Homo-oligomer: A and B are copies of this chain.
Amino acid sequence: MKITLAHGSGGRATADLIESVFAGRFSNPELDKMEDCAMVGGSGRLAVTTDSFVVTPLEFKGGDIGRLCICGTVNDLLMRGAVPKYITCGFIIEEGIDSALLEKIADSAAEAAKEAGVIIVAGDTKVIEGSGGLYINTAGVGFVDENISISASNCAPKDAVVLSGNLGDHHAAILSHRMGITNGIRSDNAPLCEMVRAMLDAGLQIHAMRDVTRGGLGTVLNELASASGCGFEIYEDKIPVSLEVASFAEILGLDIMHMGNEGKMVAVLPGEQAERACEIMRACRYGENAKVIGLATEKSGVSMRTRIGGRRNVSVLIGEGLPRIC
């Protein structure tokens, strides 16, 4: 079935679309009530975030927009130490998309939600003119223990920076697809619940965490630097990158530091806890290539010790990167 503008009317066709594509897949007692808003419980401080997803193609090697829209928002909640609980999903659908594809994407979102331990408590469906595209916004709510204080502003000189795994996989997978290049590169899109939980449960004094997404590691480290007043020094030879992605980036002249990811994070914590954090990450799903990649410094800015012994400044991403990467 091709979706038409009538499916966005708010009347019977919208109800049919919701019933056939979303209701069963996202089912839970609260969503099933089909009220104007969901009523949910919980205690502690609330963590609230939102993210929109405009990735193209909608399906790519290693994932799709459905998995991505759950992982992206779940990871944002995790980065401040919250336990993600509730997700809202707003679908903006271009007419002409096939309902079978929508169903596949909804399946994928439902599966990612299950993996991440969240439920989709509210949704919205709009249909616009177009040619089969899809945009999804998710918002997330989680709860944070009173004794947890994780913030970019907490980074302090001599803290270590731990990166949870290989950079550039998502960026290279999306770009390979668009360029029609066949290779083995798969997106890393994943929820990082397990590794964050494990680090917090181990009692590590994590100062800051950030997921490394569309602006790349270079942008994230600069954001942490400007929020905290520290600088960062990282070591090129410690940055984990798969051989295939490294070659791909080299051929196309891409900077690994500005390539987008969807299942990687950095944790900034006291230097003496860095190896322990790294071990914990490595023992978790999606963390097998975690590495200590550098440290926070007194001096502002982000610099990299290169493989050949030089030093270069690492800026935020300037210009456009890869449009619609997420």
Contacts and interface: CB of A to CB of B under 8 A. Distances in A.
Given A45-B41, A80-B36, A151-B33, A50 B137 contact: yes
Interface stretch (A124-132, A199-207, A279-287, A289-297): A124-132
Interface of A: 4-6, 8-15, 33-42, 45-54, 75-77, 79-80, 82, 86, 88-92, 121-124, 126-129, 135, 137, 139-142, 144, 151-153, 210-211, 213-216, 219, 223, 227, 258, 260, 315-321, 323-324
Contacts of A128: 54, 135, 323-324
Contacts of A79: 35-37
Contact of A45 (B39, B91, B211): B39
Contact of A37 (B38, B80, B214): B80
A12 B316 contact: yes
A38 B79 CA distance: 11
Contacts of A316: 11-12, 15
A135 B264 CA distance: 28
8 contacts: A34-B223, A35-B151, A36-B49, A36-B77, A36-B210, A39-B45, A41-B46, A49-B122
